[in-house]
Amino acid sequence: MLLRVPASFASTNEVNSVRGIVVLSRWSERDRSMQAIMADVNRQLAALPGYRAFSVARRSLGGGAGKPVEFVLGGGDYDELARWRDILTDRADENKGLSNLDSDYKETKPQLEVIIDKDRAADVGISIARIGRTLETMLGFRKVTTYIDRGEEYDVILEGKKEQKQTPTDIRNLYVRSETGNELIPLSSLVTLKEFADSASKNRFNRLRSITLSATLKDGYLLGDALDYLAAITRAELGNAPVINYKGQSREFVDASRALFVAFALSLLIVYLVLAAQFESFVHPLTVMLTVPLAVAGALGGLYLAGSSLNVYSQVGILVLIGLAAKNGILIVEFANQLRNEGKPVAEAILESARTRLRPVLMTSVSTAIGAVPLILASGAGAESRFTIGVVIISGVALSTVLTLFLVPVAYSLLARFTSATNRVALEIEALERDLSN
């Protein structure tokens, strides 16, 4: 275990925190997942009195150690942001799915504010700039000039002795020379000291002053639900005043969800246009694409039965289902169109097509489902994401295949009245040629 006090591997102003890094064994050398180990550690840390302790996942020794939930509040003033933070933290504590609530703005750093009595300083002929320069020199340091010795240039720095600037009361030993009377005035008679606590860091996000609320998720609670909950209580308690944003895993989740939604819509549009070009009709693609909602319903049902969630991986699997589900409808509709071109009526064509194409539909669907079985049975690192994709594909294909054999024929028989045989024009030309020849 690697322990660091204070909790940083660089220069820091934090003095009240500690961080330890525990490197887990390889996946094959342990029988529990990282999430299970973290949940066990968090339960033990929560029992420590007088401490606020929690564990977070870290990708590597040099990587970030963010929590899943990173909810950013943006505003114009840190005092107001701190008030908003306290309100949301109190409300978020009511949510049993969130744990280890924290923020990156903590008023734990001791500060000393020097308040100058401007009227008193003016009466004795001392400017505010001179007071500030005296404090800078005696309590800090100040570069006044340089000198050259043997071709080397050196800085001349003025500063007070360390033993004379250890405590706030040492300011009583400082004097400032009056600009009018040239006498020394005790600095303690011109200033008062105010001790307060402030945050060691004041962060910005997208150029706005911001405070980030972070939290971990308990087992079974989804990141999307957590972000929706925080956004809802923010608008309910604070209205539209705060600017809401996200960091880390939360931002990746929001961006990926939006991108997948756009990709899903574009996929439906592209598939529809391709089918319209293939069938030379805008009606037949609707019949085929009725299988897509069936596949999505099967995928959601499979996720529910498997105890999985609707996450980025399951959304990718649903995206794959668009093409896998549409192929069964294409087999039936295409063959029905061929039979109609031969002169058969719609009802007879669709029944014969469904009966003839039953074996190809079942063969392609079963082979697709069997191909996804290794995704469910696989173990090791990343098994959870592969399991989700496998469940989506198998359950979606299974339900869409069974219902396609009934829904597509019914839909085709209802919509086919608005279409004609694809070779209608050719048949009319042939008939017209026969009439002219006779």
**CATH number of the domain encompassing residue 223:** 3.30.70.1440
Residue 61, pLDDT above cutoff 50: no
Taking alpha carbons only, the member of 427, 228, 272 closest to residue 340 is 427
- Structure tokens that stand for 288 in this block: 């085929």
Question: Can you give the pLDDT at residue 16?
Answer: 63
Q: Same structural domain for residues 227 and 316? A: no
Q: What percent of the chain has pLDDT over 90?
A: 8
pLDDT in tens, 235-255: 999 888 889 999 888 888 888
Distance CA 249, CA 371 (A): 31
Write the CB contacts of 395 (distance below 8 Å, at least 6 apart in sequence): 298, 299, 301, 302, 303, 305
Q: Same structural domain for residues 346 and 308? A: yes
The reply to whether 413 falls in a domain is yes
Confirm whether pTM is higher than 0.85: no
Question: Can you give the pLDDT at residue 6?
Answer: 54
Q: Same structural domain for residues 9 and 30? A: yes
Q: Same structural domain for residues 146 and 241? A: no
Q: Which of 9-18, 80-89, 94-103, 144-153 has the lowest mean pLDDT?
A: 9-18
Q: Same structural domain for residues 115 and 188? A: yes
The reply to whether 438 falls in a domain is no
Q: Same structural domain for residues 278 and 404? A: yes
Q: Same structural domain for residues 188 and 269? A: no
Full residue range of the structural domain in which residue 38 is found: 1-65
The reply to whether 385 falls in a domain is yes
Mean confidence (pLDDT) of the chain: 81
The reply to whether 306 falls in a domain is yes
Question: What is the band of 63 on the pLDDT scale with cuts at 50, 70, 90?
Answer: very low
Q: Say how many domains are in the chain.
A: 4
Q: Same structural domain for residues 380 and 268? A: yes
More confident residue, 74 or 290: 74
CA distances 392 to 111, 294, 330, 364, 372, Å, are: 56, 12, 21, 17, 9
More confident residue, 347 or 46: 347
Residue 152, pLDDT above cutoff 70: yes
Buried b (16+ CB within 10 A) or exposed e, 113-152: ebebeeeebeeebbeeeebeebbebbbeeeeeeeeeeeee
**CATH number of the domain encompassing residue 357:** 1.20.1640.10
Question: Can you give the pLDDT at residue 234?
Answer: 92
pLDDT in tens, 316-339: 888 888 888 888 888 888 888 888
Secondary structure (3-state) at 204:
strand
Q: Same structural domain for residues 272 and 291? A: yes
**CATH number of the domain encompassing residue 162:** 3.30.2090.10
